[in-house]
Structures are given as structure tokens and as C-alpha cells.
Amino acid sequence: MTDAPMSPDDEFPSFDDAELLADLTSEMSRLRPLDDSDAIAAVDSVDVQEAEGAFEHDVATLLAERDSFKDIALRLQADFDNYRKRVATQQVDEVQRATGKFAEALLPVLDACEAAFLQHPAEVEPIFNLMLGQLKKLGLETMDLHERTFDPNLAEAVMHEAGDSGEPVVSEVLRSGYTWNGRVLRAAMVKVRG
């Protein structure tokens, strides 16, 4: 062999297409395709068990996380419902308190109307009844304590007169007392007998 320089055509030996095809056909006939049983046998059974264990662990972890998030969501929903109810109750209480303060501010006017009514009933009665009627719609009630057992939660005893030895009874109302939605707005001033 001579060490003559090779031409680009000499780098790769030329093959006849028929010869190449024969070589490939003989190689393919030597190889047989793998069927499913060969593929399963090729996988190590230990690897399958590890994969199943990892999968079961992942599923258990995901279920635990789901349950945890569900509990958190339920707690948050309950907290929000409680908050909403508490805020609604507070708003109602604030409105009641504000209107109660307004009614309390009107009590001196009611006292003046009541005093005028006792002096001139014909002239003052329509205005006095109208004012009381409108305030009653909002929750103001006049306490009727005359000839009832004295209750220090509802009235202040400013005068006392002798009577039978029984329980003290309101003999005269000197200044009317009022309740606002069931709560004492102003205690009555009364004369007590007994």
C-alpha cells in the first residue's frame, strides 16, 4: 500500500446497496421483537414494589393535605359566619343606642309637654299625643307604675308616706319614666306608700 493522500471519496468506503441490504436483513433476522412477558420480566420486581409504595405514600400524603385544607376552609367559613353575625348584631346595637340617645335628648321636651298638658289639656293634647305616638313606633314606652309594687330598677322613690305594713306601692308618679326597646331609658320619680 502506498501512503498516497486520500481523496474525499476515499474517506468512506463505497458499499453496494444490495450488499448493505443483505447485511441489514441478516441482522434483523437475528434480533427478535420483545413481547409483553419479556418486558415485564425485564423490570425488577423490587423496583415495582418500591414504585407502588411511593405511589401509595404520595396518595396518602395528598389525601391528608386535602383533608387539612378542607378543615381549614370549614373553620374559616365558620369564623366568617360568626364575624358576619357579630357585626350585624353590633350594627343593630349601635343603631338602638344612637336612637336611644336621641329619645333621651327628647325627654325634657316630653316633660315640658306633659306639664303643659296638665295645665292646658285641650291645647297641648294633639301635639303631645303625636310626639308620644311617633316615639312609640321607634320603641319608646311610658312606664305605668301607679298603684304597682315599687321596683327600684324602674323608679326612684323621692317621697314616702305611711301605709299598711305590706310591700311598698307607688302611690303617685311625680315624673314619668320611659323604656326604650325594653331597656329603662329613664327611671320614674315616684311617691311610695308603705
Residues 133 and 76 in one domain: yes
Quote the CA–CA distance of 140 and 144 in Å, as a whole number.
Answer: 13
pLDDT score of 85: 96
CATH number for the domain harbouring residue 76: 3.90.20
Greatest pairwise CA separation for the chain in angstroms: 154
pLDDT score of 1: 47
Task: Flag whether 93 is in a domain.
Answer: yes
Task: Flag whether 131 is in a domain.
Answer: yes
> How many structural domains is the chain composed of?
2
Which residues partner with 105 through β-bridges?
none
Residues 153 and 73 in one domain: no
The set of cell numbers assigned to 53 is 409504595
The set of cell numbers assigned to 164 is 299598711
Residues 134 and 147 in one domain: no
Question: H or E element: which one contains 115?
Answer: helix 45-119
Provide the Cα torsion 14, 20, 24, 29; round to 10°: -140
Smallest CA-to-CA distance from 154 within 194, 133, 182 is with 182
Residues 62 and 93 in one domain: yes
Residues 68 and 101 in one domain: yes
Task: Flag whether 66 is in a domain.
Answer: yes
Residues 131 and 68 in one domain: yes
pLDDT score of 19: 73
Residues 102 and 156 in one domain: no
The residue behind cell 301607679 is: 146
Residues 181 and 118 in one domain: no
Per-residue pLDDT of the chain (194 residues; tens, 9 = 90+): 455 555 555 555 555 667 777 777 777 666 655 555 555 555 555 566 777 777 777 888 889 999 999 999 999 999 999 999 999 999 998 988 888 888 888 889 989 998 898 898 889 899 989 988 998 998 889 999 988 999 999 999 999 888 777 788 898 999 999 998 888 989 999 999 87
Distances 143 to 6, 140, 191 between C-alpha atoms, Å: 127, 10, 15
CATH number for the domain harbouring residue 154: 2.30.22.10
Residues 88 and 101 in one domain: yes
Which range of residues forms the domain containing residue 169?
Answer: 141-194
Residues 145 and 132 in one domain: no
Task: Flag whether 16 is in a domain.
Answer: no
